[in-house]
Structure 1
Amino acid sequence: MILHRISQYIDNENLFKKTDKILVALSGGADSVALLRLLTQLGYYCEAAHCNFHLRDAESDRDEAFVRQLCHEQGVTLHCTHFCTGEYAAEKHISIEMAARELRYEWFEKIKKESGAAVIAVAHHRDDSVETLLLNLIRGTGINGLLGIRARNGDVVRPLLCINRREVVDYLNSIGQPYVTDSTNLQDEYTRNKIRLNLIPLMQEINPSVNESIMDTCNHLNDAALIYAHGIEEGKKRVLTEKGIAIDALQHEPAPAALLFEIVRPLGFNPAQTKDIIASLAGQPGKQFQSKEWRIIKDREWLLIERRKGEDAVEPPPFELEQELLDYTPEFVIPRHKEVACFDADKLKGTLSIRLWQTGDTFVPFGMKGKKRVSDYMTDRKFSLAQKEQQWVLCSGEQIAWLIGERTDNRLRIDETTQRILIVRLRRV
C-alpha cells in the first residue's frame, strides 16, 4: 500500500521519471533510510549522499559507518563528505542549524551535477510539513509560510510528503530494516523539537487528528495562495511605475499593506517596516526606510525605491559640461533652456569645478537680489529627497555659479557691461 501511495505521489507531483537518476540525501535516520529503500523498491536508480557534520562526537561517526554499510548491502553508490560545521557557523556568524543547511545543500548540488542526477531527494514527510507550518506561524509569516513544505523546490524533491512519521517507522519494521536515531531529536532545546515533542502532543489532546486537519488546511490554502499571488501581480501592475510606487494608487488597493509587503519583501524589508511605511503615507515627505541593500523614500506622491550606496561612495555625475567662450555682441540672445547656463565670463573668479551641493550652501537665484539657501530653494521647488541628494552645483572658486540644470546665480548674469560670455551646456550621459 505504501509503495503505491509513494509511486502515485511522485507521478501526480511530477517529481521525476523512472529513467532519472536520483541523489538521495541519506543521514541514517528512519526517514532517509525509508526514502532510499522505498525508491529502490520502486525501481528507481539511486545514489546516496551523506554529510558528517562532526557535531555529535561518536554519534556522527556511528551514522557514517551505518550509512556506508547500508549502501554496501543495497548496492548503492555513496558520496560522503566531512564538514567543520562549528567553525563555519562562527566564521559566517550564523546558527549551527543554518550552517549545516548551507553546507549540505551546496554540496548536494555539487554532487548532483557531478553524478548526473536529475534531482536531490530529501526525506521530509507530512509531520515535518506540519511542524514547519507551526514554526512559521509562531515566528510570524505571510500566506506562503502557511503552506507547509513544498513537494518540489528547484532541484530538491520530497517524495515522502504523502505519509507521516508513524508510517515511515512501520514500513521499516515491516521489512526488518534498522536505522539510527539522532539523540538531539529526543531533546527539546531547538524550536522545532519543542514543537514536535511538546506542542503537537498538547494539540493532539484536543484533536487526535490535528496533523491531518492542519494538512487539510494547507491544501485549501494552496488554492487560496494561487488566487492571492494572481491578485498581487495584478496589484503590482496598478501601483508600480519606473518612478516608484504611486501612493494614491496604493491607498486605493483593497489591501494596501499586503500588496506593499509583497513588493518590498524581496528587497529585505520585514512586516514591521511595512507597517511603518504604510503609517507614513499620510505624513510629510522625506522619511526613509532601509533594508540591508535598499531604501524607500516617502515622497509627496511616490514611494521611491533605490539601492543603497556605501557611506563614502560618491557616484560620478550623470552628465558632462561643455564650455564655449564668446565675445558679447548686442545680437546675442540668452538661451532660456535649463540645461544651458550663460555667464559674464569676467565675473567668474577662480577655477570652475562641480560637486554635490552641501548643507549651508547659498546662492542668489537668477532674477533675485538676496541670498537663498540651496536647501530652501529646492524645498520651494518641491524637490523630492532623491532629487535633492542628486543635485550638483557648478562652482566658480568657492561661489556657486549654477545649480546645474536648474538656475544660475544672479551675480554672474550678463548685463550692459559684459564683454565676454561663457556658455556652459549640460549633456547627460
Structure 2
Amino acid sequence: MFPKFKQHITNAMPFLKGQSLLLACSGGLDSVVLTHLCIEEGMDVALAHCNFNLRGKESDGDEKFVRELASKLKVEVFVKRFDTEQYAEEKRLSVQMAARELRYQWFDELLRTKGFDYVLTAHHADDSLETFLINLSRGTGIEGLSGIPEVNQKVVRPLLPFSRDEILGYAQSGNHHWREDSSNVSTKYLRNKIRHNIVPNLKELHPTFLQNFINTQHHLQQTNGMVKQHLHELKSELFLEGEDVINIPIAELQKLHPLESYLYGLFKDYGFTEWNDLKNLLTAMSGKQVFSKTHQLLKDRDNLVLSEIKNRVNGTYTVYLEGNTSKLPVHLLFEHTETVEKQGENVVFLDKEKLNFPLVLRKWEKGDYFYPFGMQGKKKLSKFFKDEKMNLVSKEKQWLLCSGGDIVWVVGKRADERFRVEDSTEEIIKITLVK
C-alpha cells in the first residue's frame, strides 16, 4: 500500500510536503495506519487525540495508547478531554454531532495557536460509501452524493482512495497494533447498520463494487464542480452588490429552468431551505419578505434584495455634542466652525442655537416628516424614501438625527431646512458622517 500512498501524495497532494501537519489519531486502525504511512513518507506530523469520555476505561485506554504511539514514533502529541454528553445536552445535539463539533473546534484552535498548516483525517473509501448511502437514505442532491471531499479548506483526507481491506492489509503486514472501538460493533447507529448489514451485500454484487463506486463518485464530483462553476458565473451576473445589500433582478431569475434547482443552488449558502417560499416570492407583492437564520430576502418592485440580518441595529441613542460618537451605530464627528462649506450628503452645517442638546439618533417611524434642505414645505419621510428609490432594507437601516421631536438630518441623505445656517447665526456646528 505504501508505494500507492506515496504516489497519491505526489500526484494529488504535493502541497502537504514540507508542511507542518496535525494528524487526528483516535488509536483505531485507520488513523494508526495513516500515522505510520506519513512517518514512512517522511512527513512532518504531530498527533491530536480527542478523549470524549463516552466509553469509560476504554476511552482512557485509547488515550494511553496514542500517547505511547507518539512516544514510540518520537512525534509530538496533543490530547484534549471533553465532557461530550454535557455539551450535547447544552447545544441540543446528538452525542455524535456534539463530538464532531468539539473535535473540529479544537483542531481549529490548534491550527491557530500552534502553527500547523493542515489537519489530516483518516477517512477512506468505505467511509465515503457509507456516507453516500446515509445521504441517499435521507434524500439529497448531487452535493450530498459527491462524498467526503479530499480537501476541505485546512482538512485533508489522504486515505480516501484506499479501501478498508487495503488499510487492514498494510497494518497486518507491518505488524502494527491498534485499538478496537467497541461502539463500532453496535448496530444501534445508522452508519454501523450500513457498514455491517448493507455494504457487505453490495460488495457481493460485483467483485470490484467499491472501485466502481469510487469511479462513479469521481464523476459525480466532476459534475458537481461544473454546476458550482456555472452557479458562480451566474451569481457574478445576477447578484448586484449594493450598500450592505445584494440586488437580484426577478425577470432574470424567472428565465432560469428548472427554476427550483437554480433557486436552491443560488440561495442555499444564505441558509434558505423553503424553496416554495422563494419561488412564491418572485410573484408576491412588493414588500413581502422571507427569512433564513442569517439572511433576509425582500421583494422590492422588480428585484429581490438580499441582506444579512446580523447587520441590523435598532434602538434609540442619545448624542452629546462633546461625547464620543464612535460607539454609535453610525460615527458622527461634531466640530465648531466659522465658515460654511458646501453641504452634502455626508456633511451638514447647522445653527447651534436652533438645536436642543442632547440630540437623539433613532430609526424612522410611520408618520415622520421633515423639511428637506433647499426646499419649501414639509415632506413625509415615506415619500422622500420613495423618491430616493430606497428599498425596505435601506429604509430599515436609515438613521435620523433629531432635536426634540424634529428631524435634523436624515443621516447621509438630506438635512432639515429649519436648522440651516443663516446670516444671523452666531455659532455653527459641522457634523460629518464618518464612513
* TM, length-normalised to structure 1: 0.73
Deviates more, 1:313-322 or 1:121-130: 313-322
Q: Compared with structure 1, are the counterparts of its residues 46 and 373 closer, same or farther at alpha carbon in structure 2 (3 Å cutoff)?
A: closer
Please state if 1:356 is matched with 2:360.
no
How far has the Cα of 1:373 moved from its partner? Answer: 7.8
Amino acid at match of 1:283: A
| Equivalent position of 1:176 in the other structure | 175
Residues 308-319 of structure 1 correspond to what in structure 2 (within 5 A)?
A: 308=310, 309-310=312-313, 312=315
Instruction: Give the superposed CA RMSD.
Output: 4.7
1:257 to 1:352, Cα distance in 2 relative to 1, 3 A: farther
Cα distance in 2, alignment partners of residues 76 and 350 from structure 1: 73
State the one-letter code of the partner of 2:303.
W
User: How many Å separate the matches in 1 of 2:330 and 2:265?
Assistant: 33
Worse overlay, 171-180 or 161-170: 171-180
CA distance in 1: counterparts of 2:161 and 2:384, whole angstroms: 66
What's the offset of the Cα at 1:52? 1.8
1:428: how far off? 6.0
How far has the Cα of 1:245 moved from its partner?
Answer: 3.0
Structure 1 245/191 Cα, relative in aligned 2: closer, same or farther at 3 Å? Answer: farther
- 1:14-413 alignment, distance < 5 Å: 14-16=13-15, 19-20=18-19, 22-44=21-43, 46-72=45-71, 74-86=72-84, 87-108=86-107, 118-201=117-200, 203-204=202-203, 209-243=208-242, 244-247=246-249, 248-254=251-257, 256-267=259-270, 269-272=271-274, 274-307=275-308, 308=310, 309-310=312-313, 312=315, 355-359=362-366, 384-390=391-397
Structure 1 residue 126, shift from structure 2 partner: 0.5
Q: 1:70 to 1:81 in 2, by over 3 A?
A: closer
Structure 2: segments with no counterpart, 5+ residues: 318-327, 336-343, 349-353, 419-423
Q: 1:65 to 1:400 in 2, by over 3 A?
A: closer
- Is residue 38–residue 45 contact of structure 2 (8 Å, CA) maintained in 1? yes
Structure with bigger gyration radius: 1
Aligned partner letter, 1:8: Q
Q: Deviations over 1:324-358 (max 9, x none)?
A: xxxxxxxxxxxxx99999xxxxxx99999775332
SS at match of 2:240: coil
Q: How far 1:249 sits from its partner (Å)?
A: 2.4
Q: How much has 1:129 moved relative to structure 2?
A: 1.4
Shift of 1:220: 0.8
Provide the rounded CA distance (Å) in 1 between the counterparts of 2:137 and 2:316. 40
Query: Is the partner of 1:304 in helix, strand or coil?
Result: strand
Contact 1:285 1:300 in 2 (8 A): yes
Give the match's secondary structure for 1:271.
Answer: coil
From the superposition, tell whether residues 185 and 406 of structure 1 become closer, same or farther in structure 2 (CA, over 3 Å).
same
Partner of 2:320: none
1:47 and 1:238, CA in 2 relative to 1: closer, same or farther beyond 3 A?
closer
Tell me which amino acid in the other structure corresponds to 1:280. Answer: L
Normalised to the residue count of structure 2, the TM-score between the two structures is: 0.72
Q: Is the 8 A contact 1:47 1:76 kept in 2?
A: no
SS across alignment from 1:286: coil
Where do 5+ consecutive residues of structure 1 fail to align? 323-336, 342-347, 413-419
Give % identity: 35
Change (3 A) 1:254 1:215: same
Deviations 1:218-265 (A, max 9, x none): 111222233222211211121111232332222234555445444433
Aligned CA distance change for structure 1 residues 362 and 170 (closer, same or farther; 3 Å): same
Partner amino acid for 1:76? Answer: K
CA distance in 2, matches of 1:239, 1:143: 23
Q: Distance in 2 between matches of 1:391 and 1:110?
A: 39
